[in-house]
Amino acid sequence: MVYEHRANVWIVRAGYCGQQEKDCFERGVLSLDLNLHLMEQFGQELMQLRDTPVDHKKHFYLGEQYREFDDKFKKEFEEATKGLDISSERPEVVRKMQSLNRKLKSFNEELRHFDDTMHKFDNFERREQIKEMIISKLSELDDAVLDVWSEDIFNFVMGMRLNDVVVLPLMSEGLAGIGKVREPYRFRNNFGYLSHYRRIWWADDKVSLSNLCPEFAGMLESKFSVIRVEGSCRDSIMEIVSRSTF
């Protein structure tokens, strides 16, 4: 058709997980997962945060509490057993031993509650660290990163036109889906990686990645997620489109 001569051809990487691409095919959409851009900036920081011990404060306070209880319990035990024949079963001995045993159980329960509280505090502290990390990182983004983000978003939202051709690699299967843009960009809340999307007519059959142009593999290594294809590679993809059934 005439419009195919004017149509742009795009390679779009919808995500790093094969499930995202499969969802696109099943739902007849093409998505741009903006969260991937954000998460790429935090790889090293998140690894460091993961490997940083979080319970050092808890161990310190637990140690302090244990030492205080141990000193107090030793004194009480010495007082309770002073002058007593603990091998006998006299009521006063039994009563004092039961009292000490209750104190041990009570202390154990206190430690358990304290451990739970410190665990919640550690988790809260970690979340606050992540918030600070995000604020700090986003305020210091390199211009090159902003260029990539803005280019991808522009191409997906405004650069693509109706009837443009899209190629969606499905790396886990060694295949690519071929589609045509059928609607403008749309946004819907609370749909995860399918929140930002365009409706697509997908061809009935997927294409082997090996059947695409030789330059295709190199394009997939680009830092961009939405890549405009030109030249002979575009022509070869348009040839595949002309033989496809939508």
Instruction: Give me the pLDDT at residue 2, please.
Output: 41
160 and 201 together in one domain: yes
Range with the largest mean pLDDT of 7-21, 50-64, 94-108:
7-21
64 and 12 together in one domain: no
Buried-state track 22-57, b at ≥16 Cβ within 10 A, e below 16: ebbbeeebbbbbeebeeeebeeeeeeeeeeeebeee
Q: For 138-156, how does the pLDDT look when each residue is reduced to its tens digit (9 = 90+)? A: 888 888 888 888 899 899 9
Count of structural domains, the chain:
2
What is the 3 state secondary structure string of 118-140? HHHHHHHHHHHHHHHHHHHHHHC
Q: For 172-213, how does the pLDDT look when each residue is reduced to its tens digit (9 = 90+)? A: 899 999 999 999 999 888 787 788 899 999 999 999 999 999
Q: For 117-129, how does the pLDDT look when each residue is reduced to its tens digit (9 = 90+)? A: 777 777 777 778 8
Domain that holds residue 186: 2-40+144-242
173 and 224 together in one domain: yes
Length of the chain: 246
At 9, phi and psi to the nearest 5? -120, 130
8 and 70 together in one domain: no
Q: What is the pLDDT of the chain when averaged over all its residues?
A: 81
* Last residue in a domain, options 96, 118, 139: 139
Q: Specify whether the CB–CB gap between 153 and 12 falls below 8 A.
A: no
**Position 210, amino acid:** S
66 and 122 together in one domain: yes
Q: For 27-81, how does the pLDDT look when each residue is reduced to its tens digit (9 = 90+)? A: 999 988 766 667 667 767 767 776 776 655 556 666 676 677 666 766 766 666 6
Instruction: Give me the pLDDT at residue 94, please.
Output: 66
CATH number at residue 9: 3.10.590.10
